[in-house]
């Protein structure tokens, strides 16, 4: 069988192979970055919930409960969320957040860099096909902040 040269979408030549496979087009660092991103995002969302309560003059105990509720939600433990009581009328922003949780970007950056698998050369942006798309303005909208320029 004659070996062929194939060129993928990024114009990378795969020389000296009879056929090309899916693995030829997969950058494992992109996949690692997505897992790191996901863990940092979950943590940032939990602490964003606590930050919303703090900004509304919530007590330390209320902040901890908001954080725990979001952690339970991230783990899919919806049965336990109801047992972690918070006064919804006192924290209307938190109620909005729980329907559509977004992470504070500053917290996301902080927790991303704390991840053991964080590698500064990895791609943590939307151009990484393994990372779900997001827009920076949405990260800030819940806290009523402007996107830094």
* Rg value, the chain, Cα: 21
pTM above 0.75, yes or no: no
Domain that holds residue 39: 28-141
Q: Based on the structure, what is the number of domains in the chain?
A: 1
Q: Please indicate, yes or no, if residue 118 is contained in any of the structural domains.
A: yes
Instruction: Identify whether 10 is part of a domain.
Output: no
The verdict on residue 51 lying in a domain is: yes
β-bridge pairing 4-7 and 13-17 = antiparallel
Asked if residue 94 lies in contact with residue 52, where contact means CB atoms within 8 angstroms, the answer is: yes
Residue 111's alpha-carbon distances to 59, 80, 82, 118, in angstroms, are 23, 25, 27, 10
pLDDT per position as a tens digit, 29-61: 777 888 899 899 899 999 999 999 998 999 999
- Examine residue 14 and state whether it is found in any structural domain, yes or no: no
Residue 19 counted as domain residue:
no
54 domain residue, yes or no: yes
Q: Which of 127, 140, 137 is nearest to 34 (CA)?
A: 127
């Amino acid at each position: 069988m004659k070996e062929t040269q194939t060129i993928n979408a990024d114009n990378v030549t795969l020389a000296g192979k009879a056929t090309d496979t899916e693995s030829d087009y997969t950058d494992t660092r992109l996949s690692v970055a997505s897992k790191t991103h996901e863990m940092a995002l979950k943590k940032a969302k939990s602490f964003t919930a606590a930050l919303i309560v703090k900004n509304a003059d919530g007590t330390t105990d209320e902040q901890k409960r908001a954080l725990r509720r979001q952690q339970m939600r991230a783990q899919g433990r919806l049965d336990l969320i109801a047992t972690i009581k918070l006064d919804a009328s006192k924290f209307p922003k938190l109620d909005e957040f729980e329907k559509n949780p977004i992470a504070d970007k500053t917290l996301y950056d902080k927790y991303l860099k704390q991840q053991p698998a964080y590698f500064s050369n990895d791609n943590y942006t939307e151009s990484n096909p393994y990372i779900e798309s997001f827009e920076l303005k949405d990260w800030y909208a819940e806290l009523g902040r402007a996107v830094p320029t």
